[in-house]
C-alpha cells in the first residue's frame, strides 16, 4: 500500500524515530551534516585526486598481498566534522570495500575482520 508508514505518529519516515534524529551509529552519514558538502568542493576533489595519483593502490589490500586500485581518499583520523582535521589531516588511499567495510567497522567500535589473500577469515 503506497503512502502508508509503519513509523509511529510524529516519527521520521527515514529512521522511524521521533524527530529527525538518525539511527544510532548512522549520524556520520546524515546528509544534513554541514561537513558533507565539503566532499563536493573543488578543493576536496583536488586533494583527493592528488592522493590517488600518488598512491593508486589500496593500502589495506596491499598489506594483504592484493593489488587493488584505490578509489577513496580516507581520513586516517576520523574528522568528525572538524574542519582542520578534514582539510589538513592525513589521508590514505583505500578501495571502496575496505573503506566501507573495515574502516567503518573500526570507527564505530566493531571488530575488524581480517582475511587472507584468498578471502578466508584469519583467526584473531
Amino acid 13: pLDDT: 44
The residue among 4 and 117 whose pLDDT is bigger is 117
The domain segmentation of the chain, as residue ranges, is 35-107
pLDDT digits (tens, 9 = 90+) for 14-69: 444 444 444 445 455 566 678 889 999 999 999 999 999 999 999 999 999 999 99
pLDDT digits (tens, 9 = 90+) for 70-121: 999 999 998 989 999 999 999 999 999 998 876 666 665 655 556 677 767 6
Amino acid 96: pLDDT: 94
Is the model's pLDDT at 6 over the cut of 70? no
Number of neighbouring beta carbons within 10 Å of residue 97: 15
Is the four-CA dihedral 79, 85, 88, 90 of positive or negative sign? negative
What are the beta bridge partners of residue 92? 74
Amino acid 28: pLDDT: 52
Is the model's pLDDT at 11 over the cut of 50? no
Q: Are 56 and 69 in contact, with CB atoms under 8 Å apart?
A: yes
State the cell numbers at 48.
583527493
Taking the C-alpha atoms of residue 83 and residue 23, their distance in angstroms, rounded to an integer, is 24
Amino acid at each position: 500500500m503506497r503512502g502508508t508508514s509503519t513509523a509511529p505518529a510524529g516519527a521520521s519516515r527515514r529512521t522511524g524515530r521521533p524527530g529527525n534524529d538518525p539511527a544510532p551509529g548512522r549520524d556520520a552519514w546524515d546528509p544534513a551534516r554541514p561537513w558533507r558538502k565539503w566532499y563536493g568542493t573543488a578543493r576536496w576533489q583536488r586533494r583527493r585526486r592528488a592522493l590517488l595519483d600518488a598512491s593508486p593502490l589500496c593500502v589495506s589490500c596491499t598489506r594483504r598481498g592484493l593489488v587493488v586500485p584505490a578509489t577513496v581518499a580516507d581520513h586516517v583520523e576520523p574528522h568528525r566534522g572538524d574542519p582542520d582535521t578534514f582539510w589538513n589531516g592525513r589521508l590514505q588511499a583505500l578501495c571502496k570495500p575496505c573503506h566501507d567495510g573495515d574502516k567503518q567497522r573500526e570507527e564505530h567500535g566493531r571488530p575488524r575482520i581480517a582475511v587472507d589473500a584468498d578471502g578466508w577469515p584469519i583467526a584473531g
